[in-house]
Chain A
């Protein structure tokens, strides 16, 4: 049976790509690492202000990445919102009467809010942190939205803008303040390391949850509001 040459080409190309990647991974695995990063992290953990290595890397040693990451998130959120129709934010069709969802909501939303708070706090000395807490917070927001709970702050306006930008803005402010204060960009002052990291993490949690929730909400729900361009041809 004759198959299209495109399919054969794709299979051969993907196999070659996989083989090349596997060879690269095998080569890297075969060469010993010149520096042991875990040891370096452990050596400097005391200076980072937190006790968990991943949180220390995220918010102190490589905080530049985290700063850029929340920047990317804010941009993605803004782009998503700009695609949305504001009318779909309060769609009456979303007001469900499903009793199971209501019951779940009553039990889960407070629990999930508590869990988000715990995860945020736990990040300083065990697995957890702003990203996990933000994800849980966003998930509880999605649940509340599916249950039709009105969330006024998600309408485009001042509150939404502040919520989206807060984490990034404060992070950037701390970075610039330390740069102008004579230290390096993003080097926290020694005395305030832990409180600064906790503040940034808390605000990051809110902003991450806000971005994810806004992206969820901004998918256009009711399609019949505008005349469709596709219909006119």
Chain B
């Protein structure tokens, strides 16, 4: 159990938290942030798992670097879409009825 593996397992935990938020949160911006949390967890798993022998591995690092830039662009696009959706519908959730299901 090296410290790199700790990063990988922290990434696993982030993935779980992000998935929960993505399923349960209703506000679209929060959903987006939860989704980004999952993405960060995946990056941590990739980088942490690859350098478990001690030395950093440039291949996953380059892939994660690529992934980060794509994630930023996708997040920005999602924010633009959410703002447009809010502009058109006046809602911040995807539900038809904003009522909380009782019980």
Question: Is A219's CB within 8 Å of the partner chain B?
Answer: yes
Distance between B50 CB and nearest chain A CB, rounded to angstroms: 8
Chief secondary structure at chain A's binding surface: helix
Q: Which residues of chain A are within 8 angstroms of B72 by Cβ–Cβ distance? A: 135, 212
Q: Chain B CB within 10 Å — which of A14, A77, A83, A131 has the most?
A: A14
**1-22 of chain B: CB within 8 A of chain A:** 5, 8-9, 12-13, 15-17, 19-20
Q: Give CA–CA (A169, B56) in the complex, Å.
A: 32
Collect the chain A residues with CB atoms within 8 Å of residue B61's CB: 54, 57
User: What is the minimal beta-carbon distance from A225 to any residue of chain B, in angstroms?
Assistant: 10
Chain B residues within 8 Å of chain A by Cβ, number = 46
Question: Are B16 and A17 closer than 8 Å at their CB atoms?
Answer: yes
Which A residues are in CB contact (< 8 Å) with B103? 2, 4
B contact residues around A33 at 8 Å (CB): 53
Question: Which listed residue (A28, A212, A223) contacts B73, Cβ 8 A?
Answer: A212
Q: Count of A residues near B, CB < 8 Å?
A: 55
B15, A17: Cβ atoms closer than 8 Å: yes
Contact present for A10 and B23 (CB under 8 Å): yes
Choice from A4, A29, A218 contacting B80 with Cβ under 8 Å: A218
Chain B contacts of A208 at CB under 8 A? 69
A11 / chain B contacts, CB cutoff of 8 Å: 20
Question: A12-45: contact bitstring with B at CB < 8 Å (1 yes, 0 no)?
Answer: 0111011001100100110001001110010000
A18 to B38, CA, bound (A): 11
- Minimum distance in angstroms from B7 CB to a CB of chain A: 10
> How many whole Å from A15's CB to the nearest CB in chain B?
7
> Is A189's beta carbon under 8 Å from chain B?
no
Neighbouring B residues of A28 by C-beta, 8 Å: 49
Contact A62 B62 (CB under 8 A): yes
As a 0/1 sequence over residues 65 to 85 of chain B, the CB contacts with chain A under 8 angstroms (1 = contact) are: 110111011101101110110
- Asked if A100 CB lies within 8 Å of chain B CBs, one says no
A-B contacts besides A10-B23, A131-B66, 9 pairs, CB < 8 Å: A7-B24, A25-B8, A37-B57, A58-B65, A69-B66, A135-B69, A228-B88, A228-B90, A229-B89
Q: List 29 A-B contacts (CB under 8 A).
A: A4-B101, A7-B24, A10-B23, A10-B24, A18-B12, A18-B13, A18-B19, A25-B5, A25-B45, A29-B8, A38-B55, A41-B58, A54-B65, A57-B61, A58-B66, A69-B70, A76-B73, A76-B77, A79-B77, A79-B80, A83-B81, A131-B65, A131-B69, A135-B69, A215-B80, A219-B79, A223-B87, A230-B89, A230-B90
